[in-house]
Amino acid sequence: MPWLETVWFLLIGLLLAGYAILDGFDLGAGMLHLFVAKNDRERREVMNAIGPVWDGNEVWLLTAGGALFAAFPRVYATVFSGLYLALMLLLVALILRAVSMEFRSKLEAPRWRAAWDVVFAVSSFVPSLLFGVAIGNVVRGIPLDGEQEFAGTFFGLLNPFSLAVGLFAIAMFLTQGAAWLQVRTEGTVRQRVLAAGRASRIAWIALWIAVTALARVAAPGTSAAWTRWEPWIPAMLTAVFLFGLARSWGRGRKGRAFLFSSAAIGAILATLGLVLYPTIVPALGTPERSLTIENAASSTKTLGVMLAIALAGMPVVVGYTAYIYSRFKGPVVVDEHGY
């Protein structure tokens, strides 16, 4: 396989994994906050737990989209035109989520804050569901015509398998959010977070098993990938990490559960990538129309120049991100400077 195309397939996968791990706990915290926080101060505590990092976490998704546009423009054109309505819903939800966090504390009126709390929760739920639905459709295959353009409808994307993957993503992000909040919160809020996280973790494991089984029927094109040894490695690591998550939940070192949860998300997306490779967007029912790393890639020169830029810029991004997280580690302090 062409090595530059493979490298960019890997880099885009890493960016999506970074988004799922980092913005995943933001979205999970947003979905949880109505249930684990019962008064204004507790809800501010949950928001402040993600306050210093949430906007930076979303950059990983934007960067992945930009990398997809430059490295595999035909994939970008097909996916973004076919999923246009879903992407607009995603953008609206992300905008409302940011607005709800910034506007909530502008007034002290209880109804004003309660309304923005609901917006915050809903606008965290919608991206989580859409992320899973998008992944489910990619695994299942997307209807493409002879020109490799989207030939389906928005409601056709809401098939049972993709909705099941959407529920799987919700459970995964709920657990990731609970794992983060148990590090950043204390007292009553943390106790509720631990209880919510136990429930979502069970749902995550159950849905992981169910979705894997459903894929055998809903996405038969992926069956051949399991005859290779490569996808089995991250699949088995996923089981190990989920077991470690269950063992470490609520015990001793708070950060261990978050590390296991993050590792499990990374392993799940690694499994997905190895199952699909070298295909990026499988064509439903017509495999010969699929978009692959070979027929959808930019020129070799473009990929090479972009790789040089990425190699120069990524250490800066990773270093900056690590600094921000280290700077704001520890339990949340609720004062007049927070949300």
Rounded to the nearest integer, the mean pLDDT of the chain is 91
Decide if 334 is inside a domain: no
**Across residues 129-156, what is the average pLDDT?**
90
pLDDT at 252: 63
Decide if 333 is inside a domain: no
Tokens of 244: 């470690």
> What value, to the nearest 5°, has the Cα angle with vertex 307 and ends 68 and 299?
65
Decide if 336 is inside a domain: no
Site of tokens 């595999």: 72
Decide if 320 is inside a domain: yes
**Structural domains counted in the chain:** 1
In this predicted model, what pLDDT tens digit does every residue of 190-239 receive, in sequence order? 999 999 999 999 999 999 999 999 998 888 888 888 889 999 999 999 99
Decide if 81 is inside a domain: yes
Tokens of 283: 């064509």
CA nearest to 135, candidates 318, 265, 310, 325: 265
Check residues 86 and 280 and name the one with the higher pLDDT: 280
Give, in order, the Cα–Cα distances in Å from 128 to each of 16, 27, 218. Answer: 13, 7, 21
d(CA 306, CA 294): 17
204 in Cβ contact with 169 (< 8 Å): no
Decide if 193 is inside a domain: yes
Decide if 67 is inside a domain: yes
**Across residues 140-157, what is the average pLDDT?**
88
In this predicted model, what pLDDT tens digit does every residue of 5-26 receive, in sequence order? 999 999 999 999 999 999 999 9
> Which range marks the domain in which residue 277 is found?
3-327
Decide if 337 is inside a domain: no
Give per-residue burial for 153-169: e unless 16+ CB within 10 Å, then b. Answer: eeeebebebbebbbbbb
Residues 6 or more apart whose CB falls under 8 angstroms from that of 122 comprise 93, 96
